[in-house]
Amino acid sequence: MENYKRKDIIGMTFFALSILTLCYMFLSPLNHLIVHIDEYFTLTLLNMPVGDLITVTAGDVHPPLYYLMGKAFVSITEPLGWDLLFSLKILSIIPYILILIVSAAKIRKDFSWFTAGLFAFSVGIMTEFFSHFVRARMYSWAILFIVLAFIAFMDLIESKDRKSWILLTVFSVLCAYAQYFAAITAGTLYLVLLVYLMKFEREELKAWALSVAAAIILYVPWAFTLLNQLETIHHTYWIPAVNFNEIIRALGYFAYNNDLLFSAAAIIILAIIVFIHSKDAKNTDERNRFLILSGIEIYLGTIILSVIISVVFRPILVIRYLIPASAVLWLSISILLSKIENRRMFLISFALILLLLVNGMATTVSVNDDLYKNGLEQKEVLDNITQDQDSILIVTNPHLIMYFLHLSKQTDMYCLNMAQLFGENMTRLHQIYDFESYNGNDINKLIANSTAENVYIISWNEPVLNSPTVEIDKRGNIVFSKVNRTLSQ
């Protein structure tokens, strides 16, 4: 009993740290400075009417739920005077608030304070969780939905009630509407559940089949769009082929570090903890062992399934896409540690996990500080461009136009002329945004004939122009430059 009390104290401490982590998250929306390049796409999209929003989403390679949620949330917060980016940052933090509530109310009740606290804290500071909870993208909601689906999965193993089947179905469908890799994790969850039912509860196979059928039916409205997106991915996409190093990084992603050796160390730590649990739980019922290890199986299954798809169909494995599966794994790790009863074995396991947590905290603070610094620099560059009253902005890459169209409300913008962009007719985009089109061959003429004192360029890699340019900022392959009028004369 004393051992359980000590674990609960540890869990409550972790939960208190989770609340502090939540407070730390609000630094981003309060200062508006931490902006990832993909968030620019969201800003452009959320300025569109719903019909156009769905058209562009269908032309992209993401499902529509997050953008529709964003549109609805902004419609509520805009009358309150909330800035668009501020609203979207808050929308992304809400899932972590809900995870804290679920941890305190549900996970604590089903397992212990230790499990609830360790999970709530780890899902806030490990891997790239923190940055995704403050990013105006769909990942934080995908994390929430897969966690809720996994909780329903665990309830099913315990009780087999209709409510759990319904919740599993609904949350799995929400995963698929939120982010496709979360859908792969949900699919892996169903496969793991199928294995369990075939081994222990064959009478539930009919319910499993009905759940799968219901999920497919609920996804029919987006299914044909998904097929078109898969066709696009099959012919051309930016994701590189899978290699051994990427697989190691994927396996160790739950602890996250760009260093390959650290990823290998994280994998070894996880293997040691599973081994210790197997030694400590020799008398544990086989069904309970299955439940405890199921999150690990789902995480590994997501990676294996992604590798198979990448080899057979087209490379799809991007390590950061494993963020929803990582949440499932951390819940499983939290349950696993809480079940180790041998004091010495628990202390060894907890010490190993504590090493990962300490690194996670250090990495989170370091990454957030870097994002803050980069955000300041990036904001300064964009402010200089948009607040320059005697200037024009030219976007030379068709893919980048959708990322920066929202700037057309602040400055005179010229975009490459195309028939359509992300499935949207350019004529329609002209009705929504105030920008001018130019033909690619005429860019040098456009620059030469412009009466603006300053001509800014956003391009993919260095722009190839007759006029000399000065690079003013670079974000990955995206280059912000300015035409040097002095040298061109």
The residues spanned by each domain of the chain are: 2-375, 388-488
pLDDT of amino acid 160: 81
Please give the DSSP secondary-structure letter assigned to residue 372.
H
Backbone angles phi, psi at 391, to 5 degrees: -155, 165
Q: DSSP assignment of 246-287, as one string?
A: HHHHHHTTTT--S-HHHHHHHHHHHHHHHHHHHHHTTTS-HH
User: CA-based diameter of the chain, in Å?
Assistant: 84
Angle at 62 between CA 60 and CA 64, to 5 degrees: 105
pLDDT of amino acid 64: 94
pLDDT of amino acid 114: 96
Contacts of 281 (CB under 8 A, 6+ apart): 288, 289, 292, 339, 340
pLDDT of amino acid 63: 93
In angstroms, the CA 307 to CA 315 distance is 8
Q: Which helix (H) or strand (E) holds 81?
A: none
Q: Assess contact for 122 and 77: CB atoms under 8 A.
A: no
Angle at 150 between CA 145 and CA 153, to 5 degrees: 130
Reference 146, options 114, 203, 102, 86; nearest CA is 102
Q: Assess contact for 337 and 114: CB atoms under 8 A.
A: yes
Residue in the block written with tokens 């469908």 = 173
Q: Assess contact for 22 and 93: CB atoms under 8 A.
A: yes
Q: Within its chain, how far is the Cα of 335 from the centroid?
A: 24
In angstroms, the CA 435 to CA 406 distance is 10
Q: Under the phi-then-psi rule, with left for phi > 0, alpha for psi from -120 to 50, and beta for the rest, what region is 73?
A: alpha
Q: Assess contact for 393 and 482: CB atoms under 8 A.
A: no
Q: In the chain, helix, strand, coil percent, each to 5? A: 75, 5, 20
| Per-residue pLDDT in tens (0 to 9) along the chain, 489 residues | 566 788 999 999 999 999 999 999 988 777 766 777 888 899 999 999 999 999 999 888 889 999 999 999 999 999 999 989 899 999 999 999 999 999 999 999 999 999 999 999 999 999 899 999 999 999 999 999 999 999 999 999 888 889 999 999 999 999 999 999 999 999 999 999 999 999 888 999 999 999 999 999 999 999 988 888 777 665 556 677 888 888 999 999 999 877 888 999 999 999 999 998 888 766 667 777 888 889 999 999 999 999 998 888 878 888 889 999 999 999 999 999 998 888 899 999 999 999 999 999 999 888 888 888 888 888 888 889 999 889 999 999 888 898 999 999 899 999 988 888 888 888 899 999 999 999 888 899 999 888 888 999 999 988 888 888 899 988 888 999 998 766 555
In angstroms, the CA 366 to CA 104 distance is 28
Q: Which whole-number Å values give the CA distances from 232 to 39, 66, 311, 466, in the listed order?
A: 22, 21, 17, 34
Q: Decide: residue 355, CB within 10 A, 0-12 exposed, 13-18 middle, 19+ buried.
A: middle
Which stretches of 114-196 are assigned E, i.e. beta strand?
none
pLDDT of amino acid 282: 66
pLDDT of amino acid 310: 84
Q: Which whole-number Å values give the CA distances from 397 to 65, 270, 284, 415, in the listed order?
A: 27, 44, 59, 8
Mapped onto helix, strand or coil, the DSSP state of residue 392 is: strand
pLDDT of amino acid 237: 62
Q: Assess contact for 299 and 326: CB atoms under 8 A.
A: yes
Residue in the block written with tokens 């490459």 = 416
- Calculate the CA dihedral of residues 276, 279, 280, 286 and round it to 10 degrees: 110
